[in-house]
Amino acid sequence: MISIAIGPEVYRPHRTAAERLKSRFGRALRSGVKRLAGPRNPLQPIVPRMCTVRDNELPMLETLVKESNGLSGPIVEVGTLLGVSTTKMALWKSPEKKIITVDLFYWNPWGLTSEQHRDLTAQVLHYLIQTNHVELVVSCKNAFYESYLGEPPSLVFLDAIHDYSETAKDIAWARSIGAKIISGHDYSADFPGVMKAVDEAGGPRQLEGTIWRL
Ligand SMILES: C[S@@+](CC[C@H](N)C(=O)[O-])C[C@H]1O[C@@H](n2cnc3c(N)ncnc32)[C@H](O)[C@@H]1O
């Protein structure tokens, strides 16, 4: 049995522990993720698969990465968390393609401090970083956007803050830099801000689960 203590919540017996965590995670993101990560619940189990793309969404992510292999420029992922989606993309990318993954380590659902969160993620990605397949950029995404001088990305995967204004900013940056494939996570009724920003940008040309592609 999975025991999780993130904060007060109404117990709904028809939901699984995974669904309840996903729901709490969604509420935190919808609120704009204003709270800094902190050691509030240090005994909470870390279950990586609960806060990443779902199994039914992986085929689309794989297709996008494989399409990007035929295009120039790196893959830019915005929102690393533990690096779970990063490691999946690394598996599908061509050997010469680089993934730049950006995270401020501002929020995690496990009560880790920002430093603990960053260290854990750096450890998860250690091999990929050391072998130059992945660059982990510890930065606010908006500062990263302002300072980015690299090649236009072949693929941008947006998965950081799931409100309207931040998603709109993410898409605007990806377009301004000439990203060839613009995609992201959490196009769903749980995240109306993502839906609105994506719809205003022309709507998802492709959607699998909650992974969208303009
Ligand atoms: C949904 S998680 C990313 C999940 C990851 N892509 C996966 O599927 O495994 C969101 C991440 O965005 C990060 N984040 C939140 N605000 C940010 C910001 N302003 N700049 C960069 N990263 C941010 C959080 O620290 C968190 O790790």
- Domains of the chain plus CATH, in order, are 51-213 (3.40.50.150)
Mutate to test the pocket of ligand 1, among 49, 80, 84 (most ligand atoms within 8 A of CB): 80
Distance 97 CA to ligand 1 centre (A): 22
Q: Which residue has the higher pLDDT, 15 or 160?
A: 160
Specify whether the CB–CB gap between 99 and 93 falls below 8 A: yes
Residue-level pLDDT at 82: 97
Residue-level pLDDT at 40: 52
CA atoms within 13 A on the CB side of 179: 25
> pTM of whole model > 0.95?
no
Mean pLDDT comparison of 48-57, 104-113, 136-145, highest-scoring range:
136-145
Query: What is the average pLDDT value for the chain, to the nearest integer?
Result: 85
Handedness of CA 82, 135, 194, 162 (dihedral sign): positive
Angle at 38 between CA 106 and CA 3, to 5 degrees: 110
Residue-level pLDDT at 42: 52
Which region holds residue 94: left if phi is over 0, alpha if psi is between -120 and 50, else beta? beta
Q: Which residue has the higher pLDDT, 12 or 89?
A: 89
CB atoms within 10 A of CB 132: 9
Handedness of CA 209, 34, 121, 45 (dihedral sign): negative
Site residues for ligand 1, CB cut-off 6 Å:
33, 52-53, 79-81, 84-85, 102-108, 140-141, 159-161
Residue-level pLDDT at 43: 57
Per-residue pLDDT of 15-54, as tens digits, reads: 344 444 444 455 444 444 433 444 455 557 888 888 899 9
Task: For residues 71-92, give the mean pLDDT.
Answer: 98
Mutate to test the pocket of ligand 1, among 27, 58, 76, 141 (most ligand atoms within 8 A of CB): 141
Distance 108 CA to ligand 1 centre (A): 8
Distance 16 CA to ligand 1 centre (A): 24
Say what percent of the chain tops pLDDT 70.
79
Residue 208: strand pairing partners: 211
pLDDT exceeds 70 at position 11: no
- Residue in 51, 17, 1 with CA at minimum distance from that of residue 9: 17
